[in-house]
Amino acid sequence: MEYGKFPAYRPRRMRDGELARQMIRETELSAKDFIYPLFVKPGQGRRDEIPSMPNVYQVSLDMLMPETRELLDCGIHYVLLFGLPASKDEVGSSAWDEHGVVQEAVRIIRANAPQMYVITDVCMCEYTSHGHCGKLDQDGYVMNDETLDLLAREAVSHAQAGANMVAPSDMMDGRIGHIRRALDQAGFSNVPIMSYSTKYASGFYGPFRDAADSAPAFGDRRAYQMDPANADEGVREAMYDIAEGADLVMVKPALPYLDVLERVKRETNFPTVAYNVSGEYSMVKAAAANGWVDERRVVLELLTSIKRAGADMIITYHAKDAARWLAEG
Ligand code: PBG
């Protein structure tokens, strides 16, 4: 080999053998990076697998602790709770019910597993009869400002139940500032906000809407979620939410938006979370079930790519499997 004026650096030398690769590895995935989404519902003895999401379950409150212990055993210390309420109405009033399913789930986990950090999803779509993320006007449009108070009530009720952190996913403008003020006024100035700041109107949420029973009854969410074509705007969305008081920002989905993730992290220099969403999960599971890809290999590769792009934390349905694989080494 001829090197000319360059030093004789041959990258291949450091790729031979796991211990050599380990010395120069730039991205290290760990169970500490994962947040696991949990779907909770009323009832007794229920642990129902979501058909489009193999090995992901909706669990009733009495089944929550075995699920929580399994996560802790894998080294996972963060959960994100989604509720399937007993009843729905036009404005989603069960979202701020003191004895709602999420509020009860928070109490159960906090009382029985203090080592678990409990984050709650704050949105109206699981609680409204029409499945939109807020209050509707006569034409079926979500009314931004009227929805803010409802979200704030929901967030405060989660904090009252003991949530460690709240995560608004609705995409109404101004909600972070509104929720921040409401939390502060209610005495929860220490409860941080993880904002779904940069959330795209995506086809990859399909399986989740089965899981959370939150598909819009008509129309779609394009009036409030972001256009997949926009990256500058994705960075701006994160900056607005930081200015309003967000403690962490998010890019969602993850894999089709790694460029946006990289920019949000670099340009805001702020803690950034990526949501590896339901459709991303289902695609991998379907291909793996058919023997078309090696599940362990592609999952670890995908999660590494998300972390390499800039994610400080990853919300992922693969968390349990990935944590076990990482522990095996
Ligand atoms: C809205 C919400 C959605 C997801 C999380 N929170 C769906 C939506 O906007 O329709 C999607 C998560 C996933 O697909 O895994 N409350």
Once rounded to an integer, what is the mean pLDDT over residues 183-199? 98
pLDDT band at 287 (very low <50, low <70, confident <90, very high): very high
pLDDT at 247: 98
Residue of higher predicted confidence among 233 and 211: 233
Distance 29 CA to ligand 1 centre (A): 24
- Nearest alpha carbon, ligand 1 atom 11: 205
Q: With a cut of 70, say whether residue 7 has pLDDT above it.
A: no
> How does 162-191 read in b/e, with b if 16+ C-beta sit within 10 Å?
bbbbbbbbbbbeebbbbbbebbeebebeeb
CA dihedral 253, 80, 194, 101 (to 10 degrees): 120
Active-site residue, selected from the candidate residues 88, 199, 285, 307: 199
Question: At residue 150, what is the residue type?
Answer: L
- Nearest alpha carbon, ligand 1 atom 10: 205
Q: Is 88 a catalytic residue?
A: no
Assign 60 to helix, strand or coil: strand
Question: What is the gyration radius of the CA atoms in the chain, in angstroms?
Answer: 21
Q: Is the CB of 209 under 6 A from ligand 1?
A: yes
- Nearest alpha carbon, ligand 1 atom 1: 169
pLDDT at 79: 98
Distance between CA atoms of residues 185 and 280, nearest Å:
39
Q: With a cut of 70, say whether residue 2 has pLDDT above it.
A: no
Q: With a cut of 80, say whether residue 8 has pLDDT above it.
A: no
pLDDT at 223: 86
